[in-house]
Amino acid sequence: MAPSSVFPFMAGGAAHGTKLPVGAVTLHDLTATPRFGLKGGGSAAWLTAHGVSLPAINRIGSHHGMRILRLGNEDILLLAEGAGDALADLKAAWTKDTGPKAYSSWREEGWAWMRLSGRHVPQAMERLCALDLRAGAFGVDAIAQTRVGHIEAVTFRSQEGFDVLFDVTASAYFARATAAAAMDCIDLPIDMEGHI
C-alpha cells in the first residue's frame, strides 16, 4: 500500500505533502470525513430534543449510523462515517434553528482525525499514550481524553485499531511521532518516505 499524505489543509503549508506511515502500523487521515461538534450550555438539551440519545461522559453512543462522543456534560461530538446524510440533516436543522442551541465547536476544522491500524498498533499506542488502553481496561465504547504522542488528544477504539482526534495544526508532527513509535517498537519495515 502506498503511503497517503496528511490532509492538505493549506497548500504549501508546513504539513503539505507529509507522508503517513504504512506497514505494521498504518496511519489514515480521516480529517476530511464529516463531523459536527456542539459545546456550551444547551448542547445536550438541543441534541436530546432532536432525538439523539446521549451516552455518559467519556462514552460513545450511536444515532442513525453516527457515533456520538460525549466529551463533557455539554461537549458532544458527532462522527459520520457512512452516515454523512444523517449528520448533514442534523447540522442543517441546527443551522436553521433560531432558538437556544449552544454553539458549534468547529471540530470539522479545528481537529484532525487520524486512524491507526495494523497488527502492531497496540505496541505503538503503548509508546504514544501513557494510559492502559488494553481491551480489558479500555472498551469499545470508551473515550480517553489525554495525551497521545505528547499532544492533547481524544482517543477511542475503531474496528481497525484506534482513532485519535487532536489539534489539526499538529498533523505533520503526529504523523512523525507515530512513525517514530512504530520504528521504535518493531523491526518490520515502515515506509518513512517524507519523514526523515
Nearest C-alpha neighbor of 6 from the set 22, 26, 28? 28
Q: Taking CB under 8 A as the rule, does residue 123 contact other proteins?
A: no
Stretch that binds other proteins, among 1-9, 10-18, 88-96, 147-155 (CB under 8 A): 147-155
- Residue closer to other proteins by CB (options 145, 169) is 145
Closest C-alpha to 9, from 117, 157, 151, 170: 170
Beta-ladder partners of 28: 115
What is each CA distance from 70 to 36, 48, 127, 129, 161, in whole angstroms? 12, 13, 26, 21, 20
Query: Is residue 71 near other proteins by the rule CB under 8 A?
Result: yes
Stretch 16-45 residues interacting with other proteins (CB under 8 A): none
Exactly one of 5, 33, 145, 169 binds other proteins (CB under 8 A); that residue is 145
Residue 72 interacts with other proteins (CB under 8 A)? Answer: yes
Is there a contact between 156 and 163 (Cβ–Cβ < 8 Å)?
Answer: yes
Nearer to other proteins, 58 or 123 (CB): 58
Q: Specify the residue for cell string 446521549.
A: 54
Spatial neighbors of 3 by CB under 8 A, at least 6 apart, are 19, 20, 21, 22, 191, 193, 194
Beta carbon nearer to other proteins, 48 or 146: 146
Residue 65 CA to residue 43 CA, distance in Å, equals 20
User: Under rule CB under 8 A, which residues in 162-191 are in contact with other proteins?
Assistant: none
Select from 6-14, 27-35, 68-76, 172-180 the region that touches other proteins (CB under 8 A): 68-76
Should residue 153 be labelled a site residue for other proteins when binding is judged by CB under 8 A? Answer: yes
Q: Name the CA radius of gyration of the chain, rounded.
A: 17
**Min CB(94)–other proteins separation in Å:** 22
- Would you say 22 or 166 has its CB closer to other proteins? 166
- Closest approach, Cβ 192 to other proteins, in A, equals 28
Question: In the numeric block, which cell numbers belong to residue 18?
Answer: 507529509
CB of 167 to other proteins, least distance (A): 11
**Contact footprint for other proteins (CB under 8 A):** 57-58, 71-72, 75, 130-131, 144-147, 152-154
